[in-house]
């Protein structure tokens, strides 16, 4: 019984790390749904650092070209652009500027991204008829 009280006393002294993350996304159709404008809000608060709010806006034209920007209240801001070359192949560019004390040490970064999207969900789970496709004879 004595050990149980000591254990409870030690547990009550522990500080549990708490973290909060929230993500909000809004997609707005534009030009009779040919284009879309996306707004992103992302909040992160970890017990070791001050909370950070990321705000972003992205515009996609005809499902082929996109342009966007993002601002983080704590660490960085960036712009990005991308183009879909063929159905599943995209090419993107991003320029990120670090803010606050990081900028003196690191400066800015440039990234080029090549992305190929696999249609795994469609090809594995659905046949061309829209029914699930888990192998031969599945309906």
Q: What per-residue confidence (pLDDT) applies to 48? A: 66
Q: Around Cβ 70, how many Cβ atoms within 10 Å?
A: 18
Sole residue written with tokens 């192998």: 135
pTM for the full predicted model: 0.64
Q: Can you give the residue ranges of every domain in the chain?
A: 19-125
Residue in the block written with tokens 């601002």: 71
> For residues 92 and 81, is the Cβ–Cβ distance under 8 A?
yes
pLDDT digits (tens, 9 = 90+) for 72-122: 987 789 999 999 998 889 999 999 998 877 667 777 899 999 999 887 555
pLDDT score of 103: 66
Contact by Cβ (8 Å): 28, 37: yes
């Amino acid at each position: 019984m004595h050990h149980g009280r000591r254990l409870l006393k030690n547990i009550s002294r522990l500080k549990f790390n708490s973290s909060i993350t929230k993500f909000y996304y809004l997609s707005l159709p534009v030009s009779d749904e040919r284009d879309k404008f996306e707004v992103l809000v992302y909040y992160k608060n970890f017990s070791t650092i001050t909370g950070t709010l990321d705000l972003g806006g992205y515009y996609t034209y005809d499902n082929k070209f996109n342009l966007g920007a993002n601002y983080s209240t704590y660490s960085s801001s960036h712009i990005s652009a991308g183009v879909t070359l063929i159905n599943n192949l995209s090419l993107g560019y991003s320029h990120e500027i670090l803010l606050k004390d990081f900028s003196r040490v690191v400066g800015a970064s440039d990234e080029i991204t090549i992305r190929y999207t696999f249609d795994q969900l469609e090809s594995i789970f659905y046949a061309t008829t829209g029914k699930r496709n888990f192998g031969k004879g599945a309906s």
